[in-house]
Structure 1
Amino acid sequence: MELDGKIALISGGGQGIGAGIVERFLEEGAQMAIVQRRPLGPALEKRHGVLGIQADLGDPAALPRVAEHTAERFGGIDILVNNAGIMFERSVSEIRPEEWDLMMAINMRAPLFLAQAVLPHMRRRGGGSIINIGSIEGLAANPGHAAYCASKAGIHGMTRALALDLGPDNIRCNAIAPGWIASDLSDNYLEAQADRAAAREALNGLHPVGRVGRPSDVGNLAVYLASDRSSFMTGETLVLDGGRTAKLPLPF
């Protein structure tokens, strides 16, 4: 198994992309702590090798305690996955300073200070792998997403900076920039369309592979980045979008 004996700390692993990463990590033999604001679902909480930690990721003071709790339970930390994030739509004319600050606190500040919190534990283990979840919206944009796009572009830049700073400690840092990944939220969006079948067909048609992504697709890439097989890769942002951003739109 790719991650046998590895210990991971994953933020926001209870649903969506995070759940896809958690499932693949478990299949590959990792033990892990999952930190998020809400408690884990009963099925996940009962899984062998899983520790649920409730914490407010917007509170920097809570993050060292999360890392300590993980290391005390499992004996160290080898992998950090910064997956937790928020998204809301506000036009530039409408967004308020407190909304901007909240987006940056969860989407950018928490990943940096979680990385800082795990450093002593990774150093004691001789190195590690940090995986940040960015977005294709860190490369392109949708209307009303100025704050979200800024936060994800920031994650991509931070990934490169962390790779440089932490390379001497044998700690790698890479990012995954997912495109449209199926989730309850995206399914609800499609179900709300007047012609659901046409909406789903149009969405699939945006992707050269003919479908949207699955949480397990992100999990598969995260396993590779967490494993020793990617030992020569750091500072990279890997786009995982089924070819969507490679496809130039045509006028007709």
Structure 2
Amino acid sequence: MGTRLSGKVAIVTGGNRGIGRAIAETLACEDATVVIGDLREDRFADCASLERLAFVSLDVTNEASIRAFVDEVLEKFGRIDILVNNAGKVIHKSIDDQTAEDWDWLMAVNLRGPFLMAKYVVPEMRRIGAGTIVNIGSVEGYMVNPWHTAYAATKAGVHGLTLGLAVDLGPDGIRCNTVCPGWIDTELNRAYIEMYPDRSSIERELGQLHPVGRIGAPREVANAVLWLASEESSFVSGEMISVDGARTKKISLPAIVDEEYRVKLTKLQL
């Protein structure tokens, strides 16, 4: 247990699994009271910081739900210091197969949700004269996987939202930043890998895409969020911080030229 967030009340949307769960647990382990906002409640029986976690039902696509959620958090805990907009969804469809309903749903969860959460949380942060918002964006806000047109558009929008909030809210003592995860070992990504018969080859090649020689863990994203939520980053606002093992920094090369590099990474993985 640490004390970097003692006395703070944090909200983590979509905090019942994966990256969101790691964020909630990490903030709680630094002595914050963490309110998980999600559509369903999961048990956190294996979390040592269970007593620091609370659950309040939340649908980030519904403005009335967000308003009621913020009111309940304030009624129960009296303040809101940290907002982590983590809830998000993805669809895998080409532009030909995407429907307007697909597009609107992804926009509602990934972009409208963070906007509305900020809209209703900011007045409370302004009242106490301080606060920090951490949005979970993606490296797909500036590079894109196939069939992710809508998802990439929402994450690029989150990055723009971050810039606007940082500029507008800075005079109120409120900071806003975005963490942009790369390939992280979550249940969702493991399910994607398991679609392929040769799982070990897929995992090995995914690791080789990253100069550090491996994919990331949810806790590594959570640690970046913790830093941004704490006073250790008190002069950092309006930033997009990639947590991707330098994947987005490596220029693609023809396979024959890249082979020596891949061999070195394979040795690191053994």
Structure 1 residue 43 and structure 2 residue 45: aligned? yes
8 Å contact kept, 1:127–1:169: yes
1:43 is paired with a residue whose SS is coil
Deviation at 1:193, TM superposition (A): 2.2
**Amino acid in the other structure paired with 1:244:** R
Q: 1:75 aligns with which of 78, 86, 97?
A: 78
Q: Which runs of 4+ in 1 moved over 4 A?
A: none
> Which range moves more in the overlay, 235-244 or 41-50?
41-50
Structure 1 residue 64 and structure 2 residue 67: aligned? yes
Matches within 5 A, 1:99-178: 99-178=102-181
**Amino acid in the other structure paired with 1:61:** A
Question: What is the alpha-carbon distance in structure 2 between the residues aligned to residue 199 and residue 42 of structure 1?
Answer: 31
Match of 1:88 in 2: 91
Match of 1:5 in 2: 7
Q: Taking every aligned residue pair, what percent have the same amino acid on both sides?
A: 44
Deviation at 1:121, TM superposition (A): 1.4
Length, aligned pairs only: 252
**Per-residue displacement from partner, 1:141-198 (whole Å, max 9, x unpaired)?**
1111110000000000110000011111100000001000101122223233222222
Deviation at 1:42, TM superposition (A): 5.0
Question: What is the alpha-carbon distance in structure 2 between the residues aligned to residue 155 and residue 202 of structure 1?
Answer: 29
Match of 1:24 in 2: 26
> Which range moves more in the overlay, 128-137 or 184-193?
184-193
Match of 1:225 in 2: 228
Question: What is the alpha-carbon distance in structure 2 between the residues aligned to residue 116 and residue 56 of structure 1?
Answer: 15
Match of 1:184 in 2: 187
**Higher RCO structure (Cα 8 Å, ≥6 apart):** 1
**Amino acid in the other structure paired with 1:154:** G
**Amino acid in the other structure paired with 1:72:** E
Question: What is the alpha-carbon distance in structure 2 between the residues aligned to residue 197 and residue 49 of structure 1?
Answer: 38
**Amino acid in the other structure paired with 2:76:** R
8 Å contact kept, 2:134–2:225: yes
**Amino acid in the other structure paired with 1:228:** E
8 Å contact kept, 2:137–2:181: yes
Question: What is the alpha-carbon distance in structure 2 between the residues aligned to residue 233 and residue 241 of structure 1?
Answer: 19
Deviation at 1:40, TM superposition (A): 2.5
Deviation at 1:55, TM superposition (A): 2.2
Structure 1 residue 33 and structure 2 residue 24: aligned? no
> TM-score by structure 2 length?
0.90
2:145 is paired with a residue whose SS is coil
2:94 is paired with a residue whose SS is coil
The structure whose Rg is larger is 2
Gaps of 5+ in 2: 256-270
Gaps of 5+ in 1: none
CA RMSD of aligned residues (A): 1.4
